[in-house]
């Protein structure tokens, strides 16, 4: 689907027009069109094919022509001309938290800043000081943002890297004889983001594999081609390494290239203490190969339980494996439902029925519809009256007998700055699952924010705290909050913490999940889907849960509906 890239280009046009400042309304029109294309549930090429582009809200005749041109030629002439007149790298600058069209315009007009580098230079040389509308606090924020963006540019979200790796694996399997093939590295450990992709292969015809690898359609450069290692760079900038391993060392290579570094260093010391040597070729006693073909044999020969890749961070997993106390990690199949998703009643794309149908196809036993509430006006939050109507609709849907999946009535209720909720108690009381989240005023200081959230979760009708730290990977840090105090309060009032599976949130992180588990807090893994396709993101939540040492028992949506209701009763 080209929806995303087209939305991005339309947005870029709107910002450049704003910077140019000739017309007040045109930038807004393009911005609106960009938002509609982004939110479009259907493939834009299909919309164009049936000549219906102008039916998209905000897309008039001239914007439709731009889209047609792009689909036909890969270019938008309006954008090309604008870029020549105004050489501002919009995407690069907007990646900095807090920098939007207004700031970009100001920076370009007053200091001719066009990209990350010129902005960084201007900050270092003190040129931003005294600019109207940019205080010292903002300058510090921008400087921190630049550092954040620099870090991002070298890493890719797991949710983006995983499908790419899968596609390359499929390509290799279908174009060359491959006996074994695995993705290793931080991708196999399911880290939230990865620096590159490592693919390991065992083949009787290694040259064919390498040929297939360098001729993968998406390659922009071949960085290195050798007998055992070949590296490519993809058009999106991501580097992929292919390693061809011999049969007797395949497991050792898989273990070695999966990492992490700390985990491997610790394993090597254990091998040494046992009078052995461990490297990427195998586990050796003198010259004799003790284990190497299978990864599991290496752990076994070192006297350890097999350690799942998600745990290999040297965070106590080796000690646990030594005494046979590794957790039995949750799996995707353990998940029976999803308790947080949106529909077109608030800022979701699909209707209630479409979400139910998609959840049923996934085999969920139950789902909970949790649309936003009224104070979140940007997301068309619902008021009491709308929620009551929605409750009736869901009751009808459940009693219609059309679906196996049971639809629970819920809401993602806004936590107001003082910690009160923005829905009346008598409406909250009628919901099956009440999730509360912070969506506003995220920088209020540690003590106030902690108090605010604790007050909300101590409300008698609340069941789950949504995306508990508010972080967005590479975009927004967690709000400053005393998470331990929040867990403590949650334990006291029987409230579960959400593990939000949205790929750029993955909130809570692995460390917080372990802390929650130790404190006996229950977790709900939810997709927070805003469209049917996002219901599939549950797997990213499960990966993260595994990195946090969670077992099925720690998670409320692995339970049967009856058991879940028992939990919800508090
Ligand atoms: Zn939310
Ligand atoms: Zn949500």
CA 375 / ligand 2 centre spacing (Å): 14
* 137's tokens: 């606090």
332-569 and 156-244 share a CATH fold: no
CA 376 / ligand 1 centre spacing (Å): 10
Of 496, 422, 501, residue with least CA distance to 465: 496
* 150's tokens: 């620099």
Of 169, 239, 248, 249, residue with least CA distance to 209: 169
Bridge partner list, 72: none
Q: How many residues does the chain have?
A: 570
CA 439 / ligand 1 centre spacing (Å): 6
- Can you list the positions of beta strands (E) in 453-513? 464-465, 496-500
CA 2 / ligand 1 centre spacing (Å): 26
CA 156 / ligand 2 centre spacing (Å): 23
Q: Give pLDDT, residue 540.
A: 98
Task: Write the CATH number of the domain with boundaries 156-244.
Answer: 3.30.460.10
Ligand nearest to C-alpha 534 = 2
Ligand nearest to C-alpha 507 = 1
CA 168 / ligand 1 centre spacing (Å): 34
User: What's the average pLDDT block by block, 10 residues per block, for the chain (570 residues)?
Assistant: 90 95 91 92 92 94 95 93 94 88 93 92 90 86 83 84 97 97 98 96 97 94 95 90 98 98 97 97 97 98 98 98 98 98 94 97 98 89 94 97 97 97 95 97 93 97 98 87 97 97 96 97 98 97 98 98 92
CA 115 / ligand 2 centre spacing (Å): 33
d(CA 467, CA 506): 8
Distances (CA, A) of 357 to 70, 387, 403: 34, 21, 8
CA 382 / ligand 1 centre spacing (Å): 14
C-beta of residue 510 within 8 angstroms of C-beta of residue 479 = no
Ligand nearest to C-alpha 346 = 2
C-beta of residue 482 within 8 angstroms of C-beta of residue 446 = yes
Each as own residue / partner, the long-range contacts of residues 297-301 (CB below 8 Å, 24 or more positions apart, any chain) are 297/251, 298/251, 298/252, 298/255, 299/255, 301/276
CA 192 / ligand 1 centre spacing (Å): 19
d(CA 88, CA 83): 7
CA 530 / ligand 2 centre spacing (Å): 8
Q: Where are the domains of the chain?
A: 3-153, 156-244, 258-322, 332-569
CA 504 / ligand 2 centre spacing (Å): 13
Distances (CA, A) of 555 to 438, 490, 551: 22, 15, 7
CA 50 / ligand 1 centre spacing (Å): 35
Please provide the DSSP assignment of 273-314 as one string.
HTT-EEETTEEEETTEEEE-S-HHHHHHHTT-PPPPGGGTTT
Query: Which of the 8 DSSP states describes residue 375?
Result: T
Q: How many CA atoms lie within 13 A of 414 on its CB side?
A: 23
Q: Give alpha helix (H) positions in 40-179.
A: 44-49, 61-73, 77-85, 90-94, 101-111, 116-124, 136-153, 158-175
Ligand nearest to C-alpha 465 = 1
Task: Write the CATH number of the domain with boundaries 332-569.
Answer: 3.20.20.140
Of 418, 360, 342, 413, residue with least CA distance to 384: 413
Q: Please enumerate in sequence order all residues whose Cβ is within 8 A of that of 437, keeping only pairs 6 or more positions apart, or say none.
A: 412, 413, 414, 415, 465, 466, 467
d(CA 174, CA 82): 44
Q: Give pLDDT, residue 154.
A: 75
CA 381 / ligand 1 centre spacing (Å): 11
Q: Give pLDDT, residue 570.
A: 67
CA 356 / ligand 2 centre spacing (Å): 16
d(CA 267, CA 285): 15
The end-to-end CA distance of the chain, in Å, is 44
CA 528 / ligand 2 centre spacing (Å): 5
d(CA 53, CA 158): 33
The yes/no answer on whether domain 258-322 falls in CATH 3.30.210.10 is yes
* 156's tokens: 């890719």
Q: Any idea which architecture 3-153 has in CATH?
A: Orthogonal Bundle (1.10)
Q: What is the dihedral of CA 74, 79, 81, 84, to 10 degrees?
A: -100
Torsions phi, psi for 428 (to 5 deg): -55, -40
* 312's tokens: 């290999």
């Amino acid at each position: 689907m080209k929806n995303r890239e087209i939305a991005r280009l339309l947005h870029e046009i709107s910002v450049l027009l704003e910077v140019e400042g000739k017309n007040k309304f045109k930038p807004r029109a393009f911005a609106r069109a960009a938002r509609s294309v982004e939110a479009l549930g259907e493939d834009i090429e299909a919309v164009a094919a049936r000549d219906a582009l102008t039916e998209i809200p905000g897309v008039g005749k001239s914007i439709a022509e731009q889209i047609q041109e792009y689909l036909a030629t890969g270019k938008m002439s309006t954008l090309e001309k604008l870029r020549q007149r105004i050489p501002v790298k919009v995407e690069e600058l907007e990646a900095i938290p807090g920098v939007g069209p207004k700031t970009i315009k100001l920076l370009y007009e007053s200091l001719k800043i066009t990209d990350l580098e010129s902005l960084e230079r201007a900050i270092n040389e003190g040129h931003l000081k005294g600019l109207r509308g940019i205080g010292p606090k903002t300058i510090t924020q921008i400087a921190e943002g630049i550092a954040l963006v620099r870090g991002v540019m070298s890493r890719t979200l797991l949710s983006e890297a995983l499908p790419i790796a899968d596609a390359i694996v499929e390509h290799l399997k279908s174009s060359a004889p491959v006996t074994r093939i695995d993705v290793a590295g931080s991708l196999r450990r399911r880290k939230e983001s990865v620096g590159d992709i490592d693919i390991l292969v065992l083949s009787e015809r290694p040259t064919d594999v390498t040929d297939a690898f360098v001729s993968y359609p998406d390659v922009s450069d071949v960085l290195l081609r050798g007998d055992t290692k070949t590296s490519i760079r993809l058009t999106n900038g991501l580097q992929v390494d292919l390693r061809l391993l011999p049969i007797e060392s395949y497991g050792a290579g898989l273990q070695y290239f999966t990492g992490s570094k700390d985990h491997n260093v610790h394993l090597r010391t254990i091998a040494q203490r046992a009078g052995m040597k461990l490297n990427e070729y195998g586990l050796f006693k003198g010259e004799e190969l003790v284990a190497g073909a299978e990864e599991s044999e290496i752990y076994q020969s070192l006297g350890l339980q097999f350690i799942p890749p998600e745990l290999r961070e040297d965070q106590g997993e080796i000690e646990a494996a030594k005494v046979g106390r590794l957790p039995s990690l949750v799996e995707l199949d353990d998940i029976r439902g999803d308790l947080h998703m949106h529909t077109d009643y608030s800022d979701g794309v699909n209707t209630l029925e479409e979400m139910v149908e998609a959840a049923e196809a996934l085999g969920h036993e139950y789902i909970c519809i949790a649309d936003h509430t009224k104070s979140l006006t940007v997301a068309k939050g619902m008021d009491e009256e709308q929620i009551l109507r929605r409750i009736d609709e869901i009751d009808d849907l459940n009693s219609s007998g059309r679906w196996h999946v049971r639809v629970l009535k819920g809401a993602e209720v806004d936590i107001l700055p003082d910690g009160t909720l923005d829905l009346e108690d008598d409406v909250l009381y009628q919901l099956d699952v009440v999730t509360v989240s912070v969506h506003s005023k995220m920088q209020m200081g540690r003590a106030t924010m902690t108090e605010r959230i604790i007050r909300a979760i101590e409300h008698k009708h609340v069941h789950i705290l949504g995306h508990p730290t508010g972080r967005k990977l590479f975009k927004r840090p967690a709000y400053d909050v005393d998470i331990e105090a929040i867990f403590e309060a949650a334990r006291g009032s029987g409230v579960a913490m959400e593990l939000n599976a949205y790929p750029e949130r993955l909130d809570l992180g692995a460390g917080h999940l372990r802390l929650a588990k130790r404190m006996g807090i229950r977790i709900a893994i939810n997709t927070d889907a805003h469209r049917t396709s996002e219901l599939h993101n549950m797997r990213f939540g499960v990966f993260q849960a595994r990195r946090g040492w969670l077992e099925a028992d720690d998670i409320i949506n692995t339970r049967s509906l009856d058991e879940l209701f028992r939990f919800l009763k508090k």
